[in-house]
Structure formats: structure tokens, C-alpha cells
Amino acid sequence: MTARVEEIRLNLPHVELAAHLYGPEDGQPVLALHGWLDNAATFARLAPKLEGLRIVALDFAGHGHSAHRGAGAGYQLWDYVMDVLLVAEELGWQRFSLLGHSLGGIISMMLASSMPDRVERLALIDGLVPYVGEAEQAPQKLGEALQAQLDLRTKRKPVYATLEQAVEARMKGVGDVSREAAELLAVRGLMPVPGGYTWRTDARLTLPSPLRLTRAHARAFVEALRCPVDLVVAEQGMLASEQLLMTWLTLLPITVHRLPGGHHLHLDDEAGAQAVADCFNRAFAVP
């Protein structure tokens, strides 16, 4: 993790995003998208091991060092998709590839399927389709989401007296991570407040979705993909236990790589990062 990384800012029309920049200026253009409540540091081990790529690893809006969305705005999947497209416009990239983990993999898939002329290749880590909901559940789910928005006004973020306490909390968060991984994410994800530290992330990120895609929607998106797709499935991750999805993948033109490790296998240790890099380096080497 000693490779040179540059911190940059991207001024979109509606929000300012932070990012890490890796690789040679003439490398293949790649936007790297992290998972829910993570940040650009999720690629700190992996990005230096990827060869010949110009990687812009974003902090999504509301995450890491990026700005939060304005009052009244939300964090729906399509909002992230538009952000990524606007980043490409800001960089002057007409065609580019996407490297996505978890939520970042879902955003990558949705952008590639809806704007196939813009995306060269997908390299995904334990993320492909969103959580789905069927039509008959929609009224109840919307009501729950609206109530959660009202309740958020009286909630406060947790405050940790020490960095160590925050790191331990992150180790037990969404997708258990190793201590080193939690430290990397925490350094970028925390800010000092009276009494200790709290997360920089926008509290609205924890709200339930007011509307979910149906299973038919999700399948239509994946079947609309036209670019090469390499998907790493962690054996102890979130996708491996989805038997219906794993069966479905066998029917699609997606190259699946099953690797040992958890949901954050690309960040937990150097061996996991190298295993993922080996898969993706082979993929990106194909003309």
C-alpha cells in the first residue's frame, strides 16, 4: 500500500465529490465505486495492484470526504448512477470501465446496462443486483420509509471516545472486516466532534428505500448488459448465499470468479487483494 495516491475534488453541478487517483495518466480509464457506508479507502490495497489503469476511486455523495446532498434530496440508486455519469463528463471520459464493490457493483451494473455506449468493462466485487421488493409490498415499504425520515430528526450519530472504539465498531458493521481494513475505512470516514469521533457519513444513508426495484426489474437490467463482466464472488460474502442469484448467473454471459474470503476480501488483507487483482488484471489485459 505504498503506491502513490493523489487526492482530488470533482465539482459536479449539484455536489462536490472527493476521490483518490491512482495509476499512469495514459492508463485505461476506470471509475472505482465503493460499498454502502464505506469510502474510497476500500480500494487502498487493490488499486495499486491493478496494472495499466487510471483509477479514480470516488467517495460517493454523503460518504468519506465528499459533500452531503442538499436538504430534501435523497440517496436512491439512480441518484448515484447520475453522479458517476457526471464524474465521467467532468473527467472528459467518453468511454470508461467500472470497478465496483457491493453497492458500487450495483451502481456499476445499472449504469452499464442503461448507458452501454459509455462503459467498456465491469469488474465487480461481491455486488451485482440491488435488494428487490415486489409491487404488493410497495405501500407498506413507502410508509416505513416516510416514518423513518420523520424519526431521523431526533436521532443522533454515535460518538466514540477513541479511534480504537470506532475501529472496533466498524469491524462489526455491514460486512465484517479485518482490523486493518476497518482502520483504513475509519481514517477516511471519521471526523472529530466534542467527546471524540463520529462518522462523516450523512445520516440519511441509513434510511430505508422508499421504493425498490422488483425482481423483474433487476433481471432486466442485468440481461441488458453488453460489455464484458467479471464478477468476484467471495465464498463467505453476501452473494454466495443467494442460491437463486448464483443459479441465475450460470445462465448469463458473466465471468464469475469464486475466491475465499469475506465481503471485503479485496481490503481485509494483502493476499485477498492480490487474488482479486489477479482476476481483474487478466480481464483488463484482454483487448
230-242: pLDDT as tens digits: 999 999 999 988 8
Q: What are the residue numbers of the active site? A: 102
Q: What is the pLDDT at residue 1?
A: 47
Q: What is the pLDDT at residue 48?
A: 97
Instruction: Give the span between the Cα atoms of 199 and 189, in whole angstroms.
Output: 6
- Residues with Cβ within 8 Å of 17's Cβ and at least 6 positions away in sequence, in order, are 9, 10, 58, 59, 60, 61, 66, 67, 83, 87
Mean pLDDT by 10 residues, the chain (287 residues): 81 97 97 97 98 98 97 93 98 98 98 98 96 93 96 92 93 84 95 95 95 92 95 93 81 91 96 98 91
Q: Does an H or E element contain 217, and which?
A: helix 215-223
All domains of the chain in start order, with CATH: 6-134+212-285 (3.40.50.1820)
Global confidence as pTM? 0.95
Q: What is the pLDDT of residues 242-265, one digit of tens each?
A: 877 888 888 788 999 999 999 999
Instruction: Give the span between the Cα atoms of 139 and 38, in whole angstroms.
Output: 30
Cα 102 to Cα 2, 180, 263: the distances in Å are 25, 19, 8
Q: What is the pLDDT at residue 235?
A: 94
- Whose grid coordinates read 495509476? 23
